[in-house]
Chain A
Amino acid sequence: DIQMTQSPSTLSASVGDRVTITCRASQTVGSWLAWYQQTPGKAPKLLIHKASTLETEVPSRFSGTGSGTEFTLTINSLQPDDFATYYCQQYNIYPFTFGPGTKVDVK
């Protein structure tokens, strides 16, 4: 199975900060990577798919880059609603696997 790792596991930030989360795959997944946001007690929300395609109605402060084995999610000017846990997921090779998550909390 493809192993997905994320760094950092926790990130403390303030409103207005620029935040970057890294996701790495144990083998290439091409551009077939998605990013999700989850808040406690809720289902995940898709932010980005195909590494950099922003979902409809997701604010433009979110962006994704990368291909192959290394990907980043960037949040420009962090907003109060952005304090959450973020997960990456590869959907190139079965079984599709998720990263362990990065929790963005208040500094």
Chain B
Amino acid sequence: QVQVVQSGAEVRKPGSSVKVSCKASGGTFSYYAFSWVRQAPGQGFEWMGGIVPIYGKPSHSRKFQGRVTVTADESTSTVYMELSSLTPEDTAVYYCARGGSTLSENYYYYMDAWGKGTTVSVSS
């Protein structure tokens, strides 16, 4: 049974940073693709970045280049997303989602297990 458990809601001031965690259980953590996706209030989804822990090197959307850092800790089966230089436009629900396994697929960045989301509010 796959579980993706995210850290709790955060409130930040403009210009600050936030780091959200995502602990996954079930399956071989290191070989799965993990994505961070956000949804602003009443809006659709933006893929921010992702990582396959066994490969180490993350991929990030150019839109967030330089502001987002995705990392993974294989020892604790946890993935992290840090977003810096926050503005009120970054107010959103941030989701961590697990995708396919590199052991069985060549294209694996669909998302079959989602966390419940972490609300990040940015306001002065």
Contact = CB atoms under 8 A, between A and B. Distances in A.
Interface stretch (B9-17, B70-78, B112-120): B112-120
Interface residues of A, number: 24
The DSSP consensus for interface residues of chain B is: mixed
B110 A43 contact: no
A94 B110 contact: no
Interface residues of B, number: 24
Given A46-B110, A49-B112, A89 B95 contact: no
A26 to B, nearest CB: 16
A49 B110 contact: yes
Contacts of A95: 47, 61-63
18 contacts: A34-B110, A43-B95, A43-B114, A43-B115, A44-B45, A44-B114, A46-B111, A49-B100, A49-B110, A50-B110, A89-B111, A95-B63, A96-B47, A96-B109, A97-B47, A98-B44, A98-B45, A99-B44
